[in-house]
Amino acid sequence: MVTLTAAAPGFSLLRLVAMVEAALSTGATDATTVADVDALVRRLFLAEGRSLVRLVRLFVDDRNAAEDLVQEGFIRLARSAHRIQDPDRAAAYLRSIVLNLARDHNRRGLLSLRHQLPFDDLQASTEDQLVLADDQRRVLDALRDLPPRQRDCLALRYYHELGIDDIATTLGLSRNSVKTHLQRGLAAMERRLEAPGAGDPADEP
């Protein structure tokens, strides 16, 4: 399985909390509210922080940029925390913010998508790794070329491993809409990857 590395040391809870408190200090927020927001940020960071960085790196080709986008997502969440009526929906709201930021900050190329290999990658030869890397790039290119909703649904379902209900909550869609986007996205990727010329050029006589 090809995976992304974890967040770098610069992406830390203490740093994030300090940034959030600095952002909140510009408003008329009382101490109790700041403490509540700090607690929310800490809880979500521990539960979602690293996986969100990995998710954003599907759209952004630089880890530092991905971390910055996730941090910005936490800050925007903190500023809007008073609007969250149900704490159980805070994670979905955060994912929605981060996905929007990633789309706006999209860079050329995608870096990684969880990709099951037919054998232990530790036993793969250098040649095999090069072939797999090329195959992975094709998958990522196909994913990136999808319409935004299809791409988001596929990324959340098959990379972030969310269920249909969580995807629907995150994206503000119905369950049926999520299922439709997943089906259409998978079909489009399959057509793209199976199209003539999608793989390596055939040897010419």
pLDDT tens digits, the chain, 205 residues: what are they?
333 333 444 567 777 777 777 776 665 455 547 778 888 889 999 999 989 988 888 887 778 888 889 999 998 998 888 888 888 889 999 999 999 998 887 643 333 333 333 333 333 344 444 344 677 778 888 888 899 999 999 999 988 889 999 999 999 999 999 999 999 999 999 998 887 665 544 433 3
> What confidence score (pLDDT) does residue 168 get?
95
Instruction: Output the CATH code of domain 122-194.
Output: 1.10.10.10
Q: Where in the chain is the domain with CATH 1.10.10.10?
A: 122-194
> What confidence score (pLDDT) does residue 196 get?
67
> What confidence score (pLDDT) does residue 153 get?
95
Q: Which of 166, 38, 157, 47 is nearest to 96 (CA)?
A: 166
Q: Where in the chain is the domain with CATH 1.10.1740?
A: 13-104
The separation between CA 91 and the C-alpha centre of its own chain, rounded to angstroms, equals 13
> What confidence score (pLDDT) does residue 112 get?
36
Would you give the DSSP letter of residue 2? B
The separation between CA 153 and the C-alpha centre of its own chain, rounded to angstroms, equals 10
> What confidence score (pLDDT) does residue 155 get?
92
> What confidence score (pLDDT) does residue 143 get?
87
Q: Which of 37, 13, 11, 12 is nearest to 24 (CA)?
A: 37
What is the rounded (10 degree) CA torsion for 137, 64, 107, 136?
A: 10
> What confidence score (pLDDT) does residue 119 get?
34
> What confidence score (pLDDT) does residue 15 get?
75
**3-state secondary structure (DSSP) of residue 57:** coil
pTM for the whole structure:
0.68
Instruction: Output the CATH code of domain 13-104.
Output: 1.10.1740
